[in-house]
A and B are shown apart, each in its own frame.
Chain A
Amino acid sequence: MKSCINILGIGHAFPENLISNELFFDLASSAGNSKESEIFQEERISAEAARRTVLDIDYLRNTGNRDTWQSVHNMSDTPTNLAERAARMALERANLKPEDIGLVIGDCITPLETTPSEGQRLAGRLGLKVPSFDLSTPFGALALQLEALNMISPAKLPDYVLLVSANTPTTRVNYSRGQADALYLGDAAAAVVCSYNQRAGIKLKEIACWQIEREEFFCAPLYGEIDFKYDVFKKVTNNLSSFILKEDSSADLVILPELFSLKLRPLIKAQTITTFEKVGYSLGAAEFIPLSLSWQDLSSMREIEVNVFSGDRLLKLKLEGKVV
Chain B
Amino acid sequence: MGHAQPTTVITNKFIEDLGVGTTAAWIEEKIGILTRVTSLPLEYIVETKNSDPRKATAVASTSPYELGLKASQMALERAGIKGSEVGLLIVNCCTPKFIAPTEFQKIATALNVTGSAYNVFTACPAFALHLDFINSFRRENLPKYVLCVSTATLTHHVNYNDRTDGAIWGDGAAAWVVSTQKNGRLNLVYSSFMSDPTRCDAVVVDTFKYFRQDGRAVRNFSVMQTVKLVKQLEDRFDINWERDIFIGHQANKTMLDQIINNREIPSSNHWYNVDRVGNQAGAGAPAVISENWDKIKSGSKIAVAVVGAGLSWGSALFEVV
Taking a contact as CB atoms under 8 Å apart, the answer to whether A109 and B205 are in contact is no
Which of chain B's residues have a CB closer than 8 A to the CB of A153? 136-138
Taking a contact as CB atoms under 8 Å apart, the answer to whether A220 and B98 are in contact is yes
Taking a contact as CB atoms under 8 Å apart, the answer to whether B54 and A110 are in contact is no
Taking a contact as CB atoms under 8 Å apart, the answer to whether A72 and B208 are in contact is yes
A220 with B99, Cβ < 8 A, contacts A111-B207, A116-B203 known: yes
Min CB gap B259→A, angstroms? 23
Min CB gap B191→A, angstroms? 11
Which of chain A's residues has its CB closest to B55's CB? Answer: A223
Give Cα A242–Cα B269 distance, bound, in whole angstroms.
Answer: 59
Which of chain B's residues has its CB closest to A155's CB? Answer: B136
B309 CB contact (under 8 Å) in A115, A218, A313: A115
Which of chain A's residues have a CB closer than 8 A to the CB of B98? 219-222
Min CB gap B97→A, angstroms? 5
A267 within 8 A of B: no
B121 within 8 A of A: yes
Which of chain B's residues have a CB closer than 8 A to the CB of A292? none
Min CB gap A43→B, angstroms? 20
Taking a contact as CB atoms under 8 Å apart, the answer to whether A116 and B105 are in contact is no
Q: How many A-B residue pairs have CB under 8 A?
A: 156
Taking a contact as CB atoms under 8 Å apart, the answer to whether B123 and A117 are in contact is yes
Q: Which residues of B in the span 193-216 have a Cβ within 8 Å of any Cβ on A?
A: 193-201, 203-208, 211
A113 with B206, Cβ < 8 A, contacts A128-B198, A153-B136 known: yes
Q: Which residues of A in the span 120-163 have a Cβ within 8 Å of any Cβ on B?
A: 120-124, 127-138, 141, 144, 147, 151-153, 156-157
Taking a contact as CB atoms under 8 Å apart, the answer to whether B136 and A223 are in contact is no
A198 within 8 A of B: no
Which of chain A's residues has its CB closest to B204's CB? Answer: A113
Min CB gap B313→A, angstroms? 10
Which of chain A's residues have a CB closer than 8 A to the CB of B118? 135-137, 141, 144
Which of chain B's residues has its CB closest to A139's CB? Answer: B100
Give Cα A197–Cα B101 distance, bound, in whole angstroms.
Answer: 36
A172 within 8 A of B: yes
Which of chain B's residues have a CB closer than 8 A to the CB of A133? 120-122, 129, 133, 193, 195, 310, 312
Min CB gap B152→A, angstroms? 9
Give Cα A141–Cα B100 distance, bound, in whole angstroms.
Answer: 13
Min CB gap B306→A, angstroms? 13
Taking a contact as CB atoms under 8 Å apart, the answer to whether A110 and B99 are in contact is yes
Among A115, A116, A130, A223, the most chain B Cβ lie within 10 Å of the Cβ of A115
B279 within 8 A of A: no
B141 within 8 A of A: yes
B57 within 8 A of A: yes
Taking a contact as CB atoms under 8 Å apart, the answer to whether B141 and A114 are in contact is no
Taking a contact as CB atoms under 8 Å apart, the answer to whether A152 and B137 are in contact is yes
Which of chain B's residues has its CB closest to A106's CB? Answer: B121
**Per-residue interface assignment for chain A, residues 177 to 218, with 1 indicating a CB less than 8 Å from any chain B CB and 0 otherwise:** 000000000000000000000000000000000010010101
Q: What are 18 of the A-B contact pairs (CB < 8 Å)?
A: A69-B54, A112-B206, A115-B123, A115-B204, A115-B211, A120-B122, A120-B310, A122-B197, A129-B197, A132-B195, A132-B310, A133-B133, A137-B102, A141-B118, A151-B141, A152-B137, A219-B100, A313-B116
